[in-house]
Amino acid sequence: MSAMVLEEPGAQLVFQSLDLPIPGKNEIRILIEACGVCRTDLHIMDGELIHPRLPLILGHEIVGRVDALGIEVTNFYLGQRVGVPWLGHSCGRCAYCQTARENLCDDPLFTGYTRDGGYATHTIADASYSFPLPENIAPENLAPLLCAGLIGWRTLKLAGDVRTIGIYGFGAAAHIVAQVALHKGMRVHAFVRPGDDAAVQFALSLGVTTAQDSNQPPPEFLDAALIFAPVGSLVPIALAATKKGGSVICGGIHMSEIPAFDYALLWEERKLLSVANLTRQDAEEFLAFAEKYHFDMRITRYPLLKANEATQDLRAGRIQGAAVLMPQI
């Protein structure tokens, strides 16, 4: 098999030819069709997420076909299309797993972080944390659903029963969750990096109610603000834009330092929350929704050998929508 490998934080990914892995008990081997490039991958590459498995194959938005079955795998068949998300395994024993909160597991494994991921032609995944995927959607359109889509879904769920939302940072997750919210009849206001006219037009092309610079107040107060940009200074801005009793939900796994802010921004029962990982129930709910509604996915495709170019383009903000590696091209 071939893979782009991270040997140490701060380094470029290196192309390597590796032995084809053999699936163990309750594992499947997957021939990868597509793997999304996520901002979390940048946080791992930059050392902002500590203690990755090294050397490491990044990538946790994996779409492919079952290529080999380990013993005791009964829920998949050879050739079946499957998806593998960020949560690669949970212990099933801790207090969180025992109370339907496996996203907070004390002893988890994460795809493309503490176990090898999808910047490769093949990968091994836990069959219990993999999901069947439809045949009638292109693999590159499915890949971003496995993290950007799932995190957006969970972030919106935490907002509760709301009618008006603001989305801060309009990248891969935002361009999916905006469409979820619109399908649910919500008004959606997009907030982008100041001066990024392309992002404004991108958001408007997806049908959001308004789109504007993130340092501007919204045209109406928000029931909830969803923050996907890893920029801590957006937190007080979003709180100021939110109604009494509303929520600000931070959907990223890493964020720059949040500046001090006056208590008045939080008062009147506003809530500040974070999203951590996902559960298998989230995946089942969201993938069923996605198959029914078919999102307008904006994808930039890269061959596996151009994984470094893909991460650089994502870091520089040159991608509208999602970047996806296509290992078979």
pLDDT of the residue at 329:
75
Across the chain, mean pLDDT equals 96
Residues linked to residue 302 through DSSP beta bridges, in sequence order: 325
pLDDT of the residue at 47:
95
294 pLDDT higher than 90: no
Mode of pairing for the β-strands spanning 210-213 and 187-192: parallel
**Is omega for the bond preceding 55 within 30 degrees of 0, making it cis?**
yes
Q: What is the pLDDT of residues 127-152, one digit of tens each?
A: 999 999 999 999 999 999 999 999 99
115 pLDDT higher than 90: yes
pLDDT of the residue at 249:
98
3-state secondary structure of 95: coil
4 pLDDT higher than 80: yes
Domains of the chain (ranges, CATH numbers): 2-144+296-326 (3.90.180.10), 149-274 (3.40.50.720)
Gap between the terminal Cα atoms of the chain: 14
Residue 131 structure tokens: 């999901």
Q: What's the one-letter identity of residue 176?
A: I
Q: How many other β-carbons are positioned within 10 Å of the β-carbon of residue 135? A: 8
Quick check: 7 and 55 in contact, CB under 8 A?
Answer: yes
Q: Which DSSP helix (H) or strand (E) runs through 105?
A: none
Q: What is the mean pLDDT of residues 225-248?
A: 97
Angle, to 10 degrees, between the axis of helix 172-183 and the axis of helix 148-159?
A: 50
Q: What is the pLDDT of residues 92-113, one digit of tens each?
A: 999 999 999 999 999 999 999 9
Percent of the chain with pLDDT over 70: 100
Q: What is the mean pLDDT of residues 21-32?
A: 97
Quick check: 52 and 114 in contact, CB under 8 A?
Answer: yes
pLDDT of the residue at 230:
94
Q: What is the mean pLDDT of residues 151-168?
A: 97
Q: What is the pLDDT of residues 56-78, one digit of tens each?
A: 999 999 999 999 999 999 999 99
Helix, strand, coil percentages for the chain (3-state, nearest 5) = 30, 30, 45
